Each structure stands twice: as C-alpha cells, then as structure tokens.
Structure 1
Amino acid sequence: MAAGTIRYWAAAKAAAGTAEEPYSAETLAEALDAVRERHPGELSAVLRRCSFLVDSDPVGKRSHDAVRLTEGGTVEVLPPFAGG
C-alpha cells in the first residue's frame, strides 16, 4: 500500500473542506473511493468533473484502476478552470 498526499484545488478544495490530505492506496481508483467515503456529498459530484495529475503526470483517459500510486507521491485534483 502506497502512502502520499492528495491536493485539492478550487471547487474540489471547497467541497473537501481541506487543501490536502494523505492517501493510502495502490491505485488512483482506490484513493478516490476512500475520498468519497470521507467526504460524502458535494465532493463526489465535483470529482466527476475533475482531471487528475499523479506525480505531475496527467491521467487523461486512462482507467483510474490502472493508475498506480507511488510511496510519497502526490495526486492533484483539478476541477475545470474558467478563463481564457
């Protein structure tokens, strides 16, 4: 089981009520399942619109089950940003 940090930005930060928290999971899917359990409600809806960076690497369209997390790694939760 890898341990690291999840960082929330913008609407995800507001919905989680925190800027960051630890994860303990093997995959991004496991980490996000744990997040949904800890923060039921609005954050689950926000996560459906988010993109993710794992150790600075964009997840893109990859299955979250296939994205392995690393010891000491970082998951960035990025909601859509407005602007141009």
Structure 2
Amino acid sequence: MPTGTIRYWAAAKAAAGTAEEPYAAPTLADALAAARERHAERPEFARVLARCSFLVDGDPVGTRAHTTVQLAEGGTVEVLPPFAGG
C-alpha cells in the first residue's frame, strides 16, 4: 500500500490541528476517508474537507472521482480550501 504525506493549508490546517500527516492508502478517496476517521472528534474538519480542492503530486484532481485517483509511494496530497480575497 502506498505511503506518503497529506499537507493541509489555511482553514484545512486549522481544522485538522496539524500541517501534515502521513497516509497509507491506494487512492485519494481512501486517504481522505482515513483522515476523516482520524479527525472524527473535530467536526469542522469534515465540513472544511468537503469544500477543498486537492493536488496529488502537484497535479490538480479537479472533478475526477477520488476513487479513481491513484496515490504513489512517497507522494504528496495537498489539501487546499477555497481562498478569499484577491
């Protein structure tokens, strides 16, 4: 099973209570489900995650189903909440 790092930014970092944590998951959907479970005591985390966009190894996930996004060994998932301002 691939392992790597999930990095949280801005509101996602605040909701998770950490800037990054490891993943051990074959797909983005699996990594996010494990993160939701790990942070179940922080209800704001799931709400923020639902509004986020994601980069996997620098590539935007966009509208692809998270179950189809394969994670690589040593990869990085960036969790980007919507940004305001200009």
Q: Which amino acid aligns with 2:84?
A: A
Question: Number of paired residues?
Answer: 84
Q: Distance in 2 between matches of 1:39 and 1:11?
A: 14
Q: Could you list the runs of 4 or more consecutive aligned residues of structure 1 that deviate by over 6 angstroms after TM superposition?
A: none
Aligned sequence identity (%): 76
User: How far is 1:83 from its partner?
Assistant: 1.3
User: How far is 1:4 from its partner?
Assistant: 0.1
The answer for the alignment partner of 1:82 in structure 2 is: 84
The answer for the alignment partner of 1:51 in structure 2 is: 53
User: How far is 1:76 from its partner?
Assistant: 0.1
Query: What TM-score results when the alignment is normalised by the length of structure 1?
Result: 0.99
Q: CA RMSD in A?
A: 0.4
The answer for the alignment partner of 1:4 in structure 2 is: 4
Query: What TM-score results when the alignment is normalised by the length of structure 2?
Result: 0.96
Q: Distance in 1 between matches of 2:33 and 2:24?
A: 11
Q: Distance in 1 between matches of 2:61 and 2:73?
A: 17
Structure 2 residue runs of 5 or longer lacking an equivalent are: none
Structure 1 residue runs of 5 or longer lacking an equivalent are: none
